[in-house]
Amino acid sequence: MNKKIVYFVVVIVLLLAMTGYSAVTGSVSVSIKELIMDLLYGGNEEVAVIKDLRFPRIIVAMFAGASLSVAGVLFQAVMRNPLADAGVIGISAGASFFSLFAMLFLPGLFISGPLFAFIGGSIACLLVYWLSWKSGLNPLRIILTGIAISAMFTGLREAMLMVCSYFNIAVGSSNSSNLLMKTWADVEVITVYGLIGIVLACLVGSWCNVLALQDKKAKNLGMNVTAARLTISAVAVLLAAVATSVAGVIIFVGLLIPHISRQLVGSDHRILIPFSALAGALLILTADTLGRILIAPLEIPASTIMAVIGGPFLIFLLRKSDKVNGI
């Protein structure tokens, strides 16, 4: 138990340190002291730039990481599959395609982005369930179906983007899957829905624990398995959709973080979910910060860094996946 508290403290300290480092480093850089002085008294122009441009980016990165990690934990619990990740199984692609759709045809609505992302994510999720359910969920079949769904929505999205560029329709910033040009409005969306999602996820954590037993056992213990599965999936889709609609598609976070977190704090979802949220925030913030400074002034999107780290990691997990569920 003590070990788990240590891990929590370590991740929180690292997250705070990374936030500070990320805030002061980059094309406009100030010292920590200047930053704090300005936050207290105001008046520094460089810090004003940082507040307008970099702070939103940091917050969006953290919430995107946290949301996608928790979504990963939930998908893995509900599909009983350690390889399920919103990016891998096509939820993000569905959300991304639908939020682009909303941006083109219903640009006026503030809510339309996240809402359509949620609808798109839900459609992708239902498709994955429907197409891979054969008297139970086979882990590999989910991944294969998910990859197909993901490819389909990515293709549709690209086709739509091409049509747009042909007709010279400008598509807003969130067509690219990076964290450039985030505003305080984006922050508002992702913090509100992200927090709602994470709190809901913590509430359904004990259901996730029961689902780790077999469905029939959960049923025998008096649980309404179908209702639990639907609820948990909906929360997971919400989290993935919000992150995608604001920060774009970032693949593999939901795979990497839950796996590492499980090694550190165990498989009890009541602890695993908050821990994954913190660790995911740390990972994406780190990836984004590195992307900003590695080859400045050029930037590597966080999603690119994640894809490079995540690809080998997925292969590693696939190779040992027969052991993951044990017993």
Partner 1 sequence: MEFKSVNFSYDKKSQLLKQNTGYIPDGKITTIIGPNGCGKSTLLSLLSRENKVSDGEITVNGKEIFQYQPKEFAKMVAMVYQQNEAPVDLTVEQLISFGRLPYKRAFKNTSAEDEEAVDWAINITNLESKRRRKLDQLSGGERQRVWIAMSLAQKTNMLFLDEPTTYLDIYYQMELLELVQTLNIKHNLTIVMVLHDINQALRYSDHLIVMKAGQIVAAGNPEAIVTEDMIKDIYGVDVALHTNHLAGMYLVPLGI
Q: Which tokens is 79 given?
A: 């599909």
Q: In angstroms, rounded to a whole number, what is the distance separating the alpha carbons of residues 210 and 218?
A: 6
CB nearer to partner 1: pick between 180 and 212: 212
Q: Work out how close the CB of 203 gets to partner 1 at its nearest, in angstroms, rounded to a whole number.
A: 9
d(CA 116, CA 138): 29
Token pair of 300, please?
Answer: 């590597």
CA of residue 252 relative to chain centroid, distance: 9
Residue 255 CA to residue 83 CA, distance in Å, equals 6
By beta-carbon proximity to partner 1, the closer residue of 51 and 219 is 219
Length of the chain: 327
Nearer Cβ to partner 1, position 78 or 187? 78
Least distance to partner 1, CB of residue 77, Å: 10
Cβ proximity to partner 1, 29 vs 214, nearer residue: 214
* In the chain, alpha helices (H): 2-24, 32-41, 45-49, 55-78, 91-105, 112-132, 139-166, 184-203, 205-211, 215-220, 225-247, 253-265, 269-293, 302-324
CB of 209 to partner 1, least distance (A): 8
- Positions touching partner 1 (CB under 8 A) are 135, 209-210, 212-214, 216-217, 219-224, 266-267, 325-327
CB of 223 to partner 1, least distance (A): 7
Q: Which is nearer to partner 1, 210 or 314 (CB)?
A: 210
Nearer to partner 1, 110 or 216 (CB): 216
- Distance between CA atoms of residues 288 and 25, nearest Å: 12
Burial category of 285 from C-beta neighbours within 10 Å (exposed 0-12, middle 13-18, buried 19 and up): buried
CB of 268 to partner 1, least distance (A): 8
In the complex, what is the shortest distance from the CB of residue 131 to partner 1, in angstroms, rounded to a whole number?
19
